[in-house]
Amino acid sequence: MIECVNTLYNATPRTCPARLLWADILALHGAPVDRLLNNPRHTSGKPKADVSGNRESNGALHPDLVWDVMSTSLRMVRRNLTLVCEMTTEGAWCERYHLHAKMGHNCYQELHKEDQERLEMEREKLDAKLAETADADRMDVDAEEYSEEE
């Protein structure tokens, strides 16, 4: 797992909000991740390569990954915090993890909610039209029956 996140860190820019999500997830795993982070394989190699985040550093962890996991862990321990990703307040998730918040765009969740409301209104209108059409067809059939009987 940690190798995958390390690869993602190497492939994404420092400003990518998803990095914080990955670091928070690792921090939530506690002792198993602690053992992985303290694995000698992850700290071996050339010191300069380890510090610079060189991708050819023989499996050394990206320094930003270690920093982000450490920061999250310290924040949790120091103040006994609930992680932002665990919060239920609206907008907290977006503020920390989604790029749209930093760019001033609307949240995809809000857009999805608006789309769902619009689709529901269209569905109700369509159902009403179908009901009217069915009633009109029923009246036409009734009118034809009366005219045939006469």
pLDDT tens digits, one per residue of 55-90 = 444 567 788 888 888 787 777 766 655 565 555 666
Give the C-alpha distances (Å, rounded to integers) separating 119 from 18, 105, 122, 123, 131: 30, 22, 5, 6, 18
Closest listed residue to residue 92, CA positions, set 11, 20, 8, 16? 20
Checking if the pLDDT of 47 tops 50, the result is no
Q: What value does the CA radius of gyration of the chain take, rounded to a whole number of Å?
A: 29
pLDDT of 14 over the 50 cut: yes
- 46 pLDDT higher than 60: no
Which whole-number Å values give the CA distances from 42 to 28, 68, 69, in the listed order?
20, 16, 15
pLDDT of residue 119: 94
Judge whether 96 and 20 are in contact, CB under 8 Å.
yes
Beta strands in 46-86 (DSSP E): none
Whether the predicted pLDDT of 12 surpasses 60: yes
Q: What is the pTM of this model?
A: 0.40
Tokens read off for 123:
């569905």
